[in-house]
Structure 1
Amino acid sequence: MTATTTQQSTLQPRLIVADAGRAIAFYVEAFGAEEVSRYEGDDGKIVHAELRFGQVSFTLKDEEPGTPDVGPSDLAGSPVILELTVADADAVGTAMEKAGATVIYPIDDHPYGRVGRLRDPFGHVWMISQN
């Protein structure tokens, strides 16, 4: 059996949220993200927005009930943990809490590093680790 090689060089998460406009405001406040682009449908729902902070880039969109594009609240949580490695995990965790995230596991020292988990107001789980 041979390994398959992909031609892609990046993987960009796309978060589906119940209120993309509010989510963008949260990520700007919590991470200092910059909104790179935003596209809205005729109904005013965000169909694509790109955010960037440092070297991190991700996209998001409004959920669409009745389609596969549903957020964590429709799935009883998210099966994905987004790991974000930063220089100061405590500062990022504090900023996330201030912006409305809830702590799942407090940021603390572990044998594998300084790390904690927080859930953003839209149901996505972030593991904040310190480099």
Structure 2
Amino acid sequence: MTPAPVIVSLPIADRAISYRFYRDGLGLEAVGELADDGLPEPLQFVVNDGLRLMLVPTGGFGWVIGRHEVAPRGQSECLLNLTVDSPVDADTVVERARAAGAEVITETSDHPWGYAGVFADPDGHLWMVSAAES
């Protein structure tokens, strides 16, 4: 497996729930060798050719970052943005995420910067879905 130039790592509470959410809710492909629980370890998803998303159980995440504490659920230090081709595609992604367990924070709509909506994944990480064209 060739490493991606950029890997974004997020702390998660439950590997199986997060796996299903990112596979079913965002349609991302998981990569890697299967562990005893039947899920890839490390749990990574291909976002595009240059970016992977790695989901790390909170205990393991703390091991990696040392004394820095993981932000409590509901307190986000970043907003992840997923750009799609059109407003219809943005609506589709947000609805698919909702069906997979996302909490929609801001429904998709027109904004001064374009068409976008925001949802939280099962661990509270915020994702904005924005259309490249409005």
Distance 2:46 2:57 in 1: 18
If you compute each CA radius of gyration, which structure gives the higher value, 1 or 2? 1
Structure 1 match to 2:5: 10
How much identity, in percent, do the aligned residues show? 32
Q: What is the deviation of 1:77?
A: 2.0
Q: 2:79 aligns with which of 71, 81, 86?
A: 81
After superposition, residues 108-127 of structure 1 pair within 5 angstroms as: 108-127=109-128
Cα distance change of structure 1 residues 57 and 13 upon mapping to structure 2, 3 Å threshold = same
Q: What is the deviation of 1:21?
A: 2.2
Distance 1:71 1:22 in 2: 19
Q: 2:59 aligns with which of 59, 64, 68?
A: 64
Indicate yes or no: 2:49 matched with 1:48: no
Gap runs ≥5 in structure 2: none
Q: Which amino acid aligns with 1:51?
A: F
Distance 2:78 2:96 in 1: 22
**What SS class does the counterpart of residue 59 from structure 2 fall into?**
coil
CA RMSD of aligned residues (A): 3.0
Q: Which amino acid aligns with 1:85?
A: T
**What SS class does the counterpart of residue 64 from structure 1 fall into?**
helix
Contact 1:32–1:53 (Cα < 8 Å) also in 2: no
**What SS class does the counterpart of residue 42 from structure 2 fall into?**
strand
Structure 2 match to 1:3: none
Gap runs ≥5 in structure 1: 1-8
Aligned length: 121
Contact 2:119–2:128 (Cα < 8 Å) also in 1: yes
Structure 2 match to 1:5: none
Q: Which amino acid aligns with 1:13?
A: V
Cα distance change of structure 1 residues 47 and 62 upon mapping to structure 2, 3 Å threshold = farther
TM superposition score normalised by structure 1:
0.76
Contact 1:107–1:115 (Cα < 8 Å) also in 2: yes
Which string of whole-angstrom CA distances, capped at 9 and with x for unpartnered residues, describes residues 87-109 of structure 1? 21000000000101111111101
